[in-house]
Amino acid sequence: GAGVSQTPSNKVTEKGKYVELRCDPISGHTALYWYRQSLGQGPEFLIYFQGTGAADDSGLPNDRFFAVRPEGSVSTLKIQRTERGDSAVYLCASSPQGVDGYTFGSGTRLTVV
Amino acid sequence: AQSVTQPDIHITVSEGASLELRCNYSYGATPYLFWYVQSPGQGLQLLLKYFSGDTLFQGIKGFEAEFKRSQSSFNLRKPSVHWSDAAEYFCAVVFFSGGYNKLIFGAGTRLAVHP
């Protein structure tokens, strides 16, 4: 597609459940980023992929969060044993090599009840 | 460490008035800077970016930004605000490490426009 696609757009889950959030980047973009945006805050970096490997996962808050990008395209952010504090909008961005061309998806709004 | 500060959490202006949103960055070398806008329920849209060269940059929707190295600032301006400009605005700086880069965002400024 022409842009970064994120699914689902909204996800409501119960505390303690497992969720997966999907990001489909722009074709050919080798770099993929996940960000988390809590209410009233700016996007906070979670993890960066270059190709299939996670080059920087320093932003993942704890070991309940994990992300994969097995074929260097689609990425999945996985959250185990969700907590109410995980409620936020999760944004995905992709870019070609270099500092230009970051494109963000519309995000997945996760609500943990 | 790289960081971005947006001192104003909320700003309200009247339609037709001028606007300036402040952004200060912390970075040891020449920064790469961005301004994004986010309307309610929407994704981040790039307004403009600074990589090098001139200090005054034109972006989309009539926005411009001025880079002042001496003040470590990259303030966003618009001469005449429209009601449709009401949104949240984020300043961001590129952080470089180990051959890759990532965006670091400020906390944002929420703009309200009075008719």
Q: So where are chain B's domains?
A: 3-114
CA nearest B42 in A: which residue?
A: A106
> Residue B62, SS3?
helix
Provide the residue count of chain A. 113
Taking CB atoms and an 8 Å cutoff, what residues of chain B touch A33? 102-103
How much is the average pLDDT of A52-56?
90
Cα dihedral sign, B67-B29-A38-A73:
positive
Residues 6+ apart with CB under 8 A from A7: A21, A22, A24, A108
Lowest mean pLDDT among B20-24, B54-58, B69-73: B54-58
Q: Per the CB < 8 Å rule, is A106 touching B43?
A: yes
Query: Could you give the percent of chain A with pLDDT greater than 90?
Result: 83
CA nearest A37 in B: which residue?
A: B107
Separation in Å, CA of A42 to nearest CA in chain B: 4
Query: Could you give the percent of chain B with pLDDT greater than 90?
Result: 63
Span A4-36, pLDDT tens digits: 999 999 999 999 999 999 999 999 899 999 999
Domains of chain A in start order, with CATH, are 5-112 (2.60.40.10)
The pairing of strands A108-112 and A103-104 is unpaired
Neighbouring C-beta atoms of residue B97, cutoff 10 Å: 12
pLDDT of residue B55: 81
Region B3-114: CATH code:
2.60.40.10
pLDDT of residue A1: 54
Separation in Å, CA of A79 to nearest CA in chain B: 22
